[in-house]
A and B are shown apart, each in its own frame.
Chain A
Amino acid sequence: MADTQLTKKDFASDAEVKWCPGCGDFAIMNAVRSGMVAAGKPRDEVAIVSGIGCSSRFPYYMETYGFHTIHGRAAAIASGLKVANPKLDVWVISGDGDSTAIGGNHFMHVVRRNMNLNYVLINNKIYGLTKGQYSPTSEMGQISKSSPYGVIDYPMTPAKVAISLGGTFVARGIDKKMKLNEEICVRGAMHNGLSFMEIFANCVIYNDGAHDKLVNKEDGADYHIILKHGEKMIFGATSQYCLVQDGFGIKAVRIDKADEADILVHDEKNAEMAAILAGMRPDNGLPIAFGILYADDRKKTYNDMVYEQVDAVKEKRGRSIDDIMQSGHTWTV
């Protein structure tokens, strides 16, 4: 079988998938496989690194090299892996607990360094593997086993964090929107730099329906917008809303009340706008933004710069280890 003819099915391992029936992770795995097909690397040049959590079982189900590591640290491990062998197509699969709580530090720094990794954060706003405690992305007031009277932590918005750290590819999807997720994963896989892909997922057992408001058949479309580069920001079940500038921010207005020239057009290279879009929430009267919020590959990647520096030092100094060992004040006995 020629490598170029790989299909999504070729990326499935023999291992039995042990996620709960109906788990959002299935759909996301499907999208990731599309991304891998698009990237065009043979399976033995793909490595997946995961931390701990339901989503972190991911590598076992993929016919690639896989490393199921420790809680929160996948980004740091993947960084070493990528620097050691930049030819590999490296994916980090992580959850909201893994990436925003115990591994928050590594998530921040891997984005900041612009390591050329594909970073998927599956956000179900709950700890599933430990059977239902709230996470840093859980909503205020959310009832969970460790918040029986409601969460009193303000939630964090990972995509906004990623943009604030100079992330070069920031996208958001949701398990129910299979085609959108595929687009995100394909674009992310092709992006040269850290591709941060936050995908909302439903935990059928511990946080069922957490995202229903956004995707229900009746009025879900009123609460989210799918951004497309160069297209007007229009949303709603009947495309009845649009986004317009409002001082330094933006607001949602009925399209029939807006001047067409005022309707914002999505520019995926506008980081300031992306930060605002990433922070939109229905409870602020704004739709959740899906799609590619920001993408710009003009920034060099860390892994490229490592070897540019290596080459420059080799060129400039070009010593052997013997040279270095024999340098400084030496004397012969």
Chain B
Amino acid sequence: MAENAKLTSAEQIVIKFTGDSGDGMQLIGNQLTALAALDGNDVNSLPDYPAEIRAPAGTVAGISGFQMCLGDHKIYTAGDAPDVLVAFNPAALKHSSKFVKAGGMIITNSDSFTEKSMEKVGYTSNPLEDHSLNGYDVKAIPMFTLVREALAEMELPIAAKDRCKNFFTMGVLCWLFNKDKQLVLDFIQEKFGPKAKKPLLKVAQANTLAFKAGLNYGETAIMFQERYDLGAAQIEKGLYRNITGNDAAALAIAAAGEKAGLQSFIGSYPITPATDLLHYASEMKDVNLVTMQMEDEIAGICSAVGAACAGDLAFTTTSGPGLALKTEAAGMALILEVPLVIVNVQRGGPCTGLPTKTEQSDLLQAMFGRNGDSYMPIIAANSPADCFDATYQAAKIALKYRTPVIVLTDGYIGQGSCPWKVPKMAELEDLRPYVNFWVPEAHPGEKYVSYKRDPETLARDWAIPGTKGCQHRIGTLEKDINGAVSHDPMVHQQMTEFRKAKVDNLAKVLPDVEVNGKTSNKVLVISWGGTYGAVKGAVDRMIDDGKPVSGINLRWVWPFPANLGEVISQFDKVLVPELNMGQLSLLLRAKFLVDVESLSKVQGDPFREYEIIDKVNEMLGE
């Protein structure tokens, strides 16, 4: 009997769900993520879905996936090859079986393997029977049959019953990974029960029954010989929740406004994969966060610039093609010298590219995608949770230096989720000192001069409309210290230098980069943004193996931290893995004249740790 299934302790498990788009893969994935996190594991997840909302069912192109890694230690990525694949139909199996670790487990719904559905994806014989999956631990479960049996007493259409297979599967997994079933039962009640936003009592009952049937199936079927037990990860004490990068950024926008004593304003336009940020922010009207969904990307940023000019803490949110459209208006914020934060959730490009897939290929656009000499600071978030801090820091720098700042996240961290230690508002840095509007009361006897600068930060004096007696004109033409239009060659030279120096100066106050490993070594691996997790995981493993490898992560991608050149010079070789064709490598080579090696990947998919390890081994001649 399976009751005697061995409980094996594991350090980490990688699980992948695949099924038809619209079949609830993201939901079940997020549910298991939350379950593991609530149980004390560290978790990292990666949703992966097609661009079409309802891609053709039962086809490989229409497969939606969700991968997650849970562990008893700090987890930096959604993992390499899955230990367990849950493939809900033949198309999903066809799509994903090749990713599974040798000897890994494949759980599938044998009821979905009809002749027609197999034929649709090109299976000429049933892969569950023809030994083509030898080498995997295949668990073919007749999910529809079992769920329908479990729900026999309920009056529900068959299709609705069959949809409960996801919670049936949750039951099986809950048993398999030795998780607390009560958490799932509570979740079902919360989502569908009498107290839910939209109570669906029958659905609650059906999912509960299906979930319990799954649990029982795990316990009683002879199928499983082992169960896995993951201990709680050693993580910092505090209150946690699971959060996506987009939601974290939305919260940071609200929080930064409050801590600056300003209303937060988002002017935006829907675009994948940034839209969730706008959704979440739009719910927060009760905390002085105003969102305007404008008529296009340009109007999105323009309304934000307008709000910034009026003294709101202004943001615009977008993805690559949207950033391209915002180009001129970003330059406007720059030459007007008003604070603005542009959150860019990168996706595969160029142009429309791969809307739902991740990439880091907007770095050079963020750097150079404007006319004229127009530098602006760029900060890159390195995990879903870090989107909060990166966005908050960006707001601070925007205010302090009166400049637009670009936050680069990407589809992977924007939509992926991980546990987040929830900060308390009282503990966040006070941003009010950086607001510092110019008011006549603070400058008795002085006349307001719109482009007079703070000698240290070079931030200009800033009086917002409504300030008594300070009416003045500013514009996007080159201007002198008074804001008056000027075509004087030396004025333009000086103003251009000021604008550049403002950004360069930032490097002086940025934290130094910290080296993971020895500060002088054979190979240095540099991560930025979303590559942080894979690089950190890979470098940690190689350090454990005694390899002469160290790593650093660039949080501010522009300007570079002051000690970066010195740090790099202590290594024989430098590797930059990037989800682009070598954009940071180009900047590092240009800035430090160092022979950076680039590891490029543009497959709409984040790095796996092994890919970085393989490359480093190659560089070490191993």
Contacts and interface: CB of A to CB of B under 8 A. Distances in A.
B299 A85 contact: no
A155 interface: no
A31 to B, nearest CB: 20
Of the four ranges (under 10, 10 to 19, 20 to 34, 35 or more), the interface on chain A belongs to 35 or more
Interface in B21-45: 34, 37-38, 40
Given A45-B465, A60-B485, A83-B307, A322 B267 contact: no
Interface string B462-475: 00111111111111
Nearest to A318: B286
Interface string A40-75: 000111110100000000011011111111100100
A84 B265 contact: yes
B38 A331 contact: yes
Contacts of A80: 265, 267, 292, 302-310, 312, 314
B296 A105 contact: yes
Contacts of A251: none
A333 B307 contact: no
A105 B302 CA distance: 13
Contact of A85 (B287, B310, B477): B310
A133 to B, nearest CB: 20
A60 B484 CA distance: 8
B241 interface: yes
A108 interface: yes
Nearest to A77: B306
Contacts of B87: none
A314 B303 contact: no
A130 interface: no
22 contacts: A59-B475, A65-B471, A65-B473, A66-B475, A68-B473, A69-B302, A70-B329, A76-B299, A80-B292, A80-B303, A80-B308, A84-B306, A85-B310, A88-B465, A108-B295, A314-B286, A317-B286, A324-B284, A326-B241, A330-B422, A331-B38, A333-B40
B465 A81 contact: yes
B269 to A, nearest CB: 11
A8 to B, nearest CB: 16
Contacts of B309: 47, 67, 77, 80-81, 84
Given A84-B312, A85-B310, A314-B286, 9 more contacts: A44-B469, A46-B471, A60-B484, A67-B474, A70-B302, A80-B304, A80-B312, A314-B285, A331-B37
Interface of A: 13, 15, 43-47, 49, 59-60, 62-70, 73, 76-85, 87-88, 105-106, 108-109, 306, 309-310, 313-314, 316-322, 324-333
Interface of B: 34, 37-38, 40, 187, 232, 235-242, 251, 254-255, 258, 263, 265, 267, 284-288, 290, 292, 294-296, 298-299, 302-312, 314, 328-329, 332, 336, 422-425, 464-477, 484-485
Contacts of B303: 76-77, 79-80, 83
Contacts of B287: 319-321, 324
Nearest to B232: A333
B470 A84 contact: no
Contacts of A332: 237-240
- Which of B187, B302, B422, B474: most chain A CB closer than 10 A? B302
A83 B465 contact: no
A79 B294 CA distance: 10
A325 B422 CA distance: 7
Interface centre among B241, B287, B296, B472 (most CB of A within 10 A): B287
Contacts of B306: 49, 67, 76-82, 84
A331 B237 CA distance: 10
A68 B472 contact: no
A310 B485 CA distance: 39
A83 B290 contact: yes
Nearest to B256: A321
A221 B599 CA distance: 75
A286 B40 CA distance: 78
B281 to A, nearest CB: 11
B466 A321 contact: no
A118 B67 CA distance: 53
